[in-house]
Structure 1
Amino acid sequence: MKKILILMLFSASLSMHAQGKMFKLYHDAAALTADANTVVKDFTVKVNAIAPVIVVTPSAIVNTQPYLIFYSSKSNQVNLPVWREVIPEQKAFFAKLAGSAEEGEKMFGYFFNGFYVAHEMGHALQHASGKSDPNLYRNEYTANTIAILYWRKTGHTQELKQCYDYAKKMVKQLPNPVPEGEDPVQYFNDHYEELGADPYKYGFYQFAQFAKIYEDQSLGDFDSYIKNF
């Protein structure tokens, strides 16, 4: 019994150690892959302890694409971007909104080498449980909610607060892409491909969602949310 308890505590310690390295800019693709996979496995264990729906644990890989970070249900992989491979236009986007190239790199690290790993695992959970929402806006909202609750559960409140501060700063600068008089949810669903191709338009939606969910005082905890999912 003591050996089992020691192994459990050691495993938990390793998990928190790796998670503590997230929310920063990675230059080493191998290190990013290793730490992200620790988060992926921890997320899976925590979900399956409540409801064993993720039968095959996804894997995280470095695969820098214009989408930056995404979950592929076909390969069951979380695809991550490494900064040195990000296209110049996207680097300029982060630098402009953050106020400097250095701060833009930091912002990128917090979101795309940190927060969004759990967001994509939210999509993996949706796929594994057969609960991907045909309403694309709600689908993203759910993934963002799951990610915020997961990072809170794992003690990353300071990192989430920094993400929130960045999100508020970005939303203030980004023009609202929704034409006057149109419903923002319906517009997102109808113009998803167009919005996804423009970081300024898609960024407005994603960061506005983050801020709204973060400020929502009615949210319960991760375990309760997953039980009711």
Structure 2
Amino acid sequence: MKHPAIKKIILNAITFIGSAFKIGAFVPFVLLINTVSAQQNDTLLKKLSTLRDSYINEIKSFSFKPSLAPPVLVLDNPRSFGNYDDEKNVLHTCDWNTLPAGARQVFEELAKNLNSRITAEQFFEISVHKWIFIHELGHWWRACQHVTADPYENEKAANRIDAAYWNEHDPQFYQLMLSVFNGIVSHSPSPVPAGLDKAQYLNDNYQKLPGGAAYTWYQSIMIVEVSKEQPFETFRQAIQNAGKPLK
């Protein structure tokens, strides 16, 4: 390095960076990042809390009384993108900013199939923080009613409540998601081995499937089947029956 002035500047910079790491001069910068992240989490939790509370208040307006408190919301990226823990009354959901790359890829692929009408993050928001979130609140309501069932029927019941809710509250969104689920069923092979019953196969493998293509197929085909049920339940009926089909 021939120019002494440039050499001095670089050496001073190296010295400063080294000192910064030693004395923690970068701590305010790290704290700033953490503060922004915390603020984003707070905003998301407030948004989800508003949807949760609106859902519960509507149930109360039907003259039904929940036996459980509103579920606590936790952003911890469950592998199924949503999970209600009935033992702790906690609803686990996801945050795009901390979602693992492999999980993000799921939404990137699905968004591509929508002909670029929506980004991966946008599709994540509407599918996880709308569709799946309400699905998990359906599990919460069934817990309020002390309803028990095998995994297949339990999931289908939550989907029944979910479909009824969105068909009333946002029909356009419901039809969009229904088209996505129909597309998944049409273009994805069934994970059920030949000769086995699909409900029993899910029941036998329930702990293994969430987060994978097989579980996505299962949720999709359940929703497609629910959409064809006649009579199609209103949200009030779905709540009254705790997701059981109308007779």
- The match for 1:51 is 64
Provide the alpha-carbon RMSD of the alignment.
2.2
Of residues 72, 85, 97, the one that matches 1:84 is 97
Cα separation, 2, equivalents of 1:171 and 1:107: 18
Cα separation, 1, equivalents of 2:125 and 2:157: 22
Cα separation, 1, equivalents of 2:40 and 2:181: 26
- TM score, norm. by length of structure 2: 0.73
- TM score, norm. by length of structure 1: 0.79
Contact in 2 for aligned 1:59/1:77 (Cα 8 Å): yes
Cα deviation code 1:107-128 (max 9, x no counterpart): 3222101111111111111112
Of residues 232, 242, 247, the one that matches 1:219 is 232
Please say if 1:176 is aligned against 2:177: no
Name the amino acid aligned to 1:121: L
Please say if 1:28 is aligned against 2:40: yes
Contact in 1 for aligned 2:78/2:94 (Cα 8 Å): yes
Cα deviation code 1:59-103 (max 9, x no counterpart): 323222323211122332221101121111122223234327964
The alpha carbon displacement at 1:160 in A equals 1.0
Paired residues, what number? Answer: 200
Cα separation, 2, equivalents of 1:206 and 1:224: 21
Contact in 1 for aligned 2:111/2:119 (Cα 8 Å): yes
Of residues 124, 132, 138, the one that matches 2:140 is 124
Percentage of matched positions with identical amino acids: 22
Name the amino acid aligned to 2:81: L
Cα separation, 2, equivalents of 1:67 and 1:220: 26
Name the amino acid aligned to 2:216: G
SS in structure 2 of the partner of residue 193 of structure 1: coil
Contact in 1 for aligned 2:148/2:154 (Cα 8 Å): yes
Of residues 210, 213, 237, the one that matches 1:200 is 213
For structure 2, the 5+ residue unaligned runs are 1-38, 243-247
Please show how residues 8-23 of structure 1 align to structure 2 within 5 Å: none
The structure whose Rg is larger is 2
Contact in 2 for aligned 1:97/1:173 (Cα 8 Å): no
The alpha carbon displacement at 1:163 in A equals 0.9
Name the amino acid aligned to 1:118: I
Q: 1:111 to 1:132 in 2, by over 3 A?
A: farther
Please show how residues 83-162 of structure 1 align to structure 2 within 5 Å: 83-99=96-112, 103-133=119-149, 135-153=150-168, 155-162=169-176
Bigger Cα displacement from structure 2, 31-40 vs 96-105: 96-105
Cα separation, 2, equivalents of 1:54 and 1:214: 29
Contact in 1 for aligned 2:161/2:235 (Cα 8 Å): yes
The alpha carbon displacement at 1:181 in A equals 0.9
Please say if 1:166 is aligned against 2:170: no
Q: 1:105 to 1:174 in 2, by over 3 A?
A: farther
SS in structure 1 of the partner of residue 87 of structure 2: coil
The alpha carbon displacement at 1:35 in A equals 1.5
Bigger Cα displacement from structure 2, 66-75 vs 118-127: 66-75
